[in-house]
A and B are shown apart, each in its own frame.
Chain A
Amino acid sequence: MSPAATAVDLVRTYGRWDAAVRALDGVSLEIPTGRFTAIMGPSGSGKSTLLHLLAGLDVPTSGRVLLGDTDLGALPDAALTRVRRDRLGFVFQAFNLLPQLTAAQNIDLPARLAGRRPDPAWRTALVGLLGIADRLEHRPSQLSGGQQQRVAVARALLGRPEIVFADEPTGNLDTTSGHELLGLLTRSVHELGRTVVMVTHDAVAASFADQVLLLRDGRPAGSLVDPTPDTVLAALRDLTAGVPA
């Protein structure tokens, strides 16, 4: 199966000239379709930057991002916006819902932006699966963190996106809610056939993934297949100790 997304020689620098910081320094990798991929690395390794570039939220300094066959670098802003709206889904660490909209309105937002009616059967199924059917008319301020994040997952999955990107999705959740959420992401991959890419610094969260890609100093630093918390922790320890994995 062709990869869901491909990164080719990605470089992203921030600032200019002497003050420039190379957040990503030549990263090439593939995100396999129908799999749950975790991206890990110490602080400043460029994992969030990589996610932003893969998701078309940011534009690389050089290199290419392919979503399926689409070269994101070749798209003007409006087309890139449509790609995000129609082909991608997002789950963020925090502030990922609009406070002025109800849960239901937040879930429907991308579809509404596209001027589409969401598929009602799929929507009902999702809301049931995520256990938020009775919270739909509430505003985010009236929901717990776990409920807010499940609303965000519903919003991400409603459009049947090619890839769901999750940036530290469990960062603001307690352990139980976090595990529930990771379970939902796993099920969306294995039962619903989605592709999920998650950035995390939590070894336990990463162990829910099918594979872990490791970054260090803006460069790829190996990968793990079928990770467990122990193998992830060991790999991270090796990374920070400066030993190539």
Chain B
Amino acid sequence: MNPATGSLLAETRRTPGRVVLTGLAILIATTFAAGTLLLTDALRTELTRDAVRTPEAAAFVVRGPADLARIRATPGVTDAVEVRSAFLSVRGQGTWSLESDPLTGPLTRLPALAAGRLPTGPGEALLGAATAQRTHLAPGARLTIGERSVTVTGIATLPGEGQNTLVTTPDLLAALGGELDQVDVAGTPDPAALTGPGLTVRTGAAQRTDEAEGASATVTAVLAGVSVFVGLALVAAVVVVASTFRIVLSRRRTQLALLRCVGATRAQVTRAVLAEAAVTGLVAGVGGVALATGLGAVLTAVIPNAPALVIPWAAFAGCVALAVVATLAAAAIPAIAAGRIPPVAALGTAGAADAGPPRKAPRIVLASLFALVAGGGGVLGARIGGDPVVGIALVAVSGLAAFAALIALGPLIVGLLARTLGRLGNLSAAGRMAVANARQVPRRTAATITVLALGVGLTSALLVGIAGVSAEADRSIAEHFPSAVVVQGADAAAAARLAADPTLLVRPGAGRADSPPGQGTNGTTPDQAAPGTTAPDGTAPDRVLVDPAPGTGDQALRVAVDRALGPDTGALVTYTADLRDQVRNALDVSRAVGFGLVGMTLLVAVVGVGVTLALSVAERTRETGLLRAVGLTRGGVRAMVGAEAAFAGAAAAVLGAVIGGGYGLLALAAMDLRTTPPIPWPELAALLVDVVVVAALAAVIPAARAARTPPTAALAEL
């Protein structure tokens, strides 16, 4: 270790708080990375467990048109059951998923019941727990499926219950028209004896492995998606840490120059700074991994039935290594700059070395290059057509280039914004000082703003994207389901009964989902609709569109449709409102997940605001003291620091919302939607306000610290 490194590291040991402050952003990004890995492992275990449906007792699985009696008679077979499934219309409840289960014996797939008892008679069934919650049905309820009446006897927690689900015996499901998926076979038969024409026989173990791998692939895809956002958070952290390193080093300019005075070479000083960065990265990485493990432990302790936490040591070591590399990357340019500090600076006065106006020309050239890439990628992505994934990927690349351009231009933008704000003239003294402070260190302010703008931009893009997809889904539903109820496959008699019901408005629909848009959406009176319930050639139409007559409520509508169709209908009934709810729920879930992912970057950015301000405040002790001496109150000092954060927050919010919103629209264009995407103004406005408030909150601790500065600090010896 060269003595310069030793000197800097000794200082690091003396002031561990500064290491934490410098590495805070990296620590948070590492926490996300480690947390993702930890949760992915738990998720993989959980999903795999759910995905494996074939029971352990099934030694073989027979697929194809199997004859159960023959299989049961095969020597060595101790038990065999059919596995059937169907999607059937439940009267008044829309379409349900039906699954079969032997209910007892080694081949049952059921967990313990949550309520009620197992079905014993032919007309009995179990309800999925999530279904029970959604439909408010309880044991004892009676459901009508086709011509059969089924009584719910109990409730079971079923895996992956996205759709309303009912579990019955294979016999009942066969009678209802359920299709045979496979036959589970227990015992030790000769597989050759099981096979037959059109049948495939495989071991239960192979089947279970297949099922598990299918789920595992899903988890891997999810992990890949999440990694992108972890990567973005890490990029944000690198920008924040690079900025904090610049500040910290400029404050230690004299000390570094002293090292040069006493004979340290430039390379030694640079190496010393990099060594300090490595230590910072190591501390932040280990801290992040520890924090993620702690949070994971808390989560598993709090959530009932959570899987046990398995710590992926190798992956965690990778996380720590990533933290060190990221910190070194962030410190690289400040370290080289530190090497260039002239020895004579040791004798001069220490000032903010990153203060002063930024160099314009190289920044503009760099920004233009990035903007060119961004523009090209954006236009290509929006126009390319074909696979939307390629288009969206191009738009994403363009977005990253735009962010890079923003980083390059940042300091110039800060100057521009500050000048504009300065001209407003209506600012309070604290506000004026805040703008002057932000402008005095344009690079530092720009780093804060760009990282925050990245977070806001991602969020805005998400908001705009979800709004566009939601509008497109609404349009698509309105096009394919132009009425409150769509009945498919009703016979002529049932169609006539629907038309005859005075509480219903009925018109024929085109049979195909790919019918031209707008078909039948114009107002149709009952007089016109009634004769149209049969197609011109006298047969029943493929689809009947049913709306409630004025004054008919939702419940009455469902009762009337069921009454008209009668008990023995094979018709598929879709309630458009249910469909809309399902789509809305799915979008709400995507939105929540999206905010969680984007939130990582936002959190790193907000920490960046806090850390940068804390360092700035420490650097401006003398100036703050002077302000206190000439009459700025403690509250005024707090307001000044808060206003500086709010200034950065507002600039980032506007920049981020404009760029992010634009990229949201570009991504929608790449998806080739047929709706003009609506811009979610209220959500965007709320986001802007939130960002400014959160940025100001990040300033609370630095502001309190600044307010404690005594006026005599202005007179302290150098």
Contact = CB atoms under 8 A, between A and B. Distances in A.
Contacts of A57: 629, 710-712, 714-715
A48 B715 CA distance: 9
Interface in A182-239: none
B436 A81 contact: no
A112 B440 CA distance: 20
Nearest to B432: A112
Nearest to A57: B711
Given A100-B436, A100-B437, A109-B429, A58 B627 contact: no
A101 interface: yes
State which size class the interface on B falls in: 20 to 34
B711 A112 contact: no
Interface of A: 48, 52, 55, 57-58, 77-78, 81-82, 84-86, 90, 92-96, 98-101, 105, 109-110, 112-115, 155, 167
A52 B633 CA distance: 17
Contact of A58 (B439, B440, B622, B711): B711
A115 B429 contact: yes
Given A57-B711, A58-B711, A113 B631 contact: yes
Interface in B186-207: none
Contacts of A85: 630-632
Given A78-B633, A95-B626, A52 B712 contact: yes
Nearest to A77: B634
A99 B440 contact: yes
Contact of A113 (B429, B436, B710): B429
Nearest to A86: B631
Contacts of A99: 351, 355, 440, 623
A95 B429 contact: no
Nearest to A167: B715
Contacts of B437: 100
B636 interface: yes
A97 to B, nearest CB: 8
Contacts of A96: 626, 714
Contacts of B294: none
Interface string B331-362: 00000000000000000000100010000000
B209 to A, nearest CB: 67
B633 A95 contact: no
A109 to B, nearest CB: 6
A93 B626 CA distance: 12
B436 A52 contact: no
A55 to B, nearest CB: 8
B715 A98 contact: no
Contacts of A98: 433, 436, 623, 626-627
Q: Which 10 pairs, one residue from A and one from B, show the smallest C-beta to C-beta distance?
A: A85-B631, A100-B440, A100-B436, A57-B711, A112-B429, A113-B429, A81-B633, A113-B631, A110-B630, A110-B631
Contact of A100 (B439, B622, B714): B439
B633 to A, nearest CB: 5
B622 A155 contact: no
6 contacts: A78-B633, A82-B633, A93-B715, A101-B433, A105-B436, A113-B631
B635 interface: yes
B453 to A, nearest CB: 23
Contact of A82 (B428, B629, B631, B710): B631
Nearest to A97: B626
Contacts of B271: none
B713 to A, nearest CB: 10
B628 interface: yes
Contacts of B718: 94
Contact of A81 (B440, B626, B632): B632
A90 B630 contact: yes
- Which of A55, A57, A96 is the most central at the interface, judged by chain B CB atoms within 10 Å of its CB? A57
A241 to B, nearest CB: 27
A166 B560 CA distance: 94
A120 B627 CA distance: 22
Given A98-B623, A98-B626, A101-B436, A77 B633 contact: yes
Nearest to A139: B440
A57 B710 CA distance: 8
Interface in B666-718: 710-712, 714-715, 718
Contacts of B634: 77-78, 81
Contact of A78 (B432, B439, B635, B710): B635
A112 B630 CA distance: 11
A238 to B, nearest CB: 28
Given A90-B630, A113-B636, A95 B711 contact: no
B432 A155 contact: no
B356 to A, nearest CB: 9
Nearest to B428: A115
A24 to B, nearest CB: 14
Nearest to B352: A99
Given A81-B633, A100-B437, 12 more contacts: A58-B711, A78-B633, A81-B632, A86-B631, A92-B626, A92-B715, A94-B718, A95-B622, A101-B436, A109-B630, A112-B432, A114-B631
A58 B710 contact: yes
Contact of B711 (A48, A84, A93, A109): A84
Nearest to A48: B715
Contacts of B632: 81, 85, 113
A86 B630 CA distance: 9
Contacts of A93: 715
A233 B705 CA distance: 44
Interface string B25-57: 000000000000000000000000000000000
Given A100-B436, A100-B440, A58 B630 contact: no
Contacts of B623: 95, 98-99
B715 A113 contact: no
Contacts of A112: 429, 432
Nearest to B716: A95
- Which of B351, B433, B439, B715 is the most central at the interface, judged by chain A CB atoms within 10 Å of its CB? B715
Contact of A155 (B436, B630, B633, B715): B630
A92 B627 contact: no
Contacts of B627: 98, 109, 113
A72 B627 CA distance: 19
A84 B629 contact: yes
Nearest to B437: A100
Contacts of B626: 92, 95-96, 98
A194 to B, nearest CB: 16
A90 B1 CA distance: 49
Contacts of B622: 95
A79 B429 CA distance: 18
A89 B339 CA distance: 43
B630 A113 contact: yes
A52 B710 CA distance: 11
